[in-house]
Amino acid sequence: MDTNKNYEKKARLYPVIIAMIIPFFIILNFSNGVLSIYNKLEGNWNLLISIIPASLITGSLIYGVKLLARSTSKILFQFNFFEENETKMPTTELVLWKNEKLSKQNKKLIHEKIKVDLGLILFNEDEELENEKEARLIIVDSVKRIREKTRDNIILFNYNCNYGFIRNFMGANIWSLLILFVIGLINSFYFIISWKLFIISISLIIIW
| pLDDT average, residue stretch 36-56 | 59
| 121 Cβ contact list (under 8 Å, min separation 6) | 111, 115, 138
**SS3 category, 3:** helix
| pLDDT average, residue stretch 39-68 | 67
Domain boundaries, given as residue ranges, for the chain: 3-207
| 85 Cβ contact list (under 8 Å, min separation 6) | 137, 140
| pLDDT average, residue stretch 73-94 | 90
For 166-185, the pLDDT digits (tens) are 999 999 999 999 988 888 88
Distance CA 191, CA 200 (A): 17
Distance CA 71, CA 197 (A): 30
Distance CA 162, CA 97 (A): 28
Inform me whether the pLDDT recorded for 56 exceeds 90: no
Which pLDDT does position 39 carry in this prediction? 60
> Kindly report the CA angle at 18 between 161 and 11, in degrees rounded to 5?
15
